[in-house]
Structure 1
Amino acid sequence: MEHITETATLKAPAERFTGDVHLNMIESPTSPGRLAAALVRFTPGARTNWHSHANGQTLYVTDGVGLVGTRDGSVVRVSAGETVKCPAGEEHWHGATDTTFMAHIAMVVGDTDGDGTTWLEPVTADEYAAALNTTD
C-alpha cells in the first residue's frame, strides 16, 4: 500500500489550455499500470485545446458546471456527479462555462509511450461561444 498525503497543484501548460487551469496529478502511467488520472480545475471560460486519446478518456465532474464538445458540434453541459466518456480517437475539448468554475477528475489509460494524448489547436472564441449557445 502507498499512502500519498499531498500532491502539488500545478498550473496547466498554456500551450494546451486557454485560461487559468490548475491540476493535481492522482496517478501517472508507470509500468505495469497505464492509468493517468488528475483533478483538473477550470476557472470561468477556461478550457482545454482540442485533443484525443488513444484509448479514450473518462471525465467525472466533481464541482461546478462545464462543457464537453466534439468536432461534429455536439456539446454536453455537465454538472457535479456526472460522467462523460470520450471514445478512443475522438477529438474533443472540455472546460468551464463562461460564468462558473468546473472541476473534474480526468482519467485515461495510456499506451506504451505515455498517456496516449494527442494535443491539437486551441478551441477558438467562436467555437466556444457556439458551444455555450448550443447547450441548455
Structure 2
Amino acid sequence: MPKLLIIEDEPLLREMYTGVFTEQGINVISAESAEEGLLMIEQEMPDLIVLDILLPNADGNQMLEQLRKNPRTANLKVVAFSNYNDKTAKEKAYQLGVLDYLIKTDYTPREFVEKIKGYLQ
C-alpha cells in the first residue's frame, strides 16, 4: 500500500484529504508544519509528499531545500499543493524537483485525488 504524507497547516483540508485518500486505500500520514513534516519523513519515508507552500515558520520551498540536501531524502517525490500562485515560488519549487505545482482552487477534491493517485503509481 503506498504511503502518502500530506503537509498542510489548514486542519479542515488536512483532515478532509486524509479521509478521502484513506478511503481510496492509500496509507496517509499528515503534518501541520514543515518541522513536523521533516520528522514524519525521517520516521516514515513516504512514497509521495503533498506539500503546501505557505506554512507557518518555514515555507514549503525552504523545506524542499532541506529535503534535497539530505542524501536519504533527496529523491523523494513531492507535489506542491497551494493557493500561492506566485511565479517565483512556482519556479523555485520546480527547480527543487517537484513533480507538479497544483493550485488548490483549480481542482475539486475528486480531481485532486485522481491526480495524486497517478503520481503514486
TM class, shorter-chain normalised?
A: under 0.3
Normalized against structure 2, the TM-score is what? 0.28
Larger % of strand: which? 1
Normalized against structure 1, the TM-score is what? 0.26
Larger % of helix: which? 2
Larger radius of gyration: 1
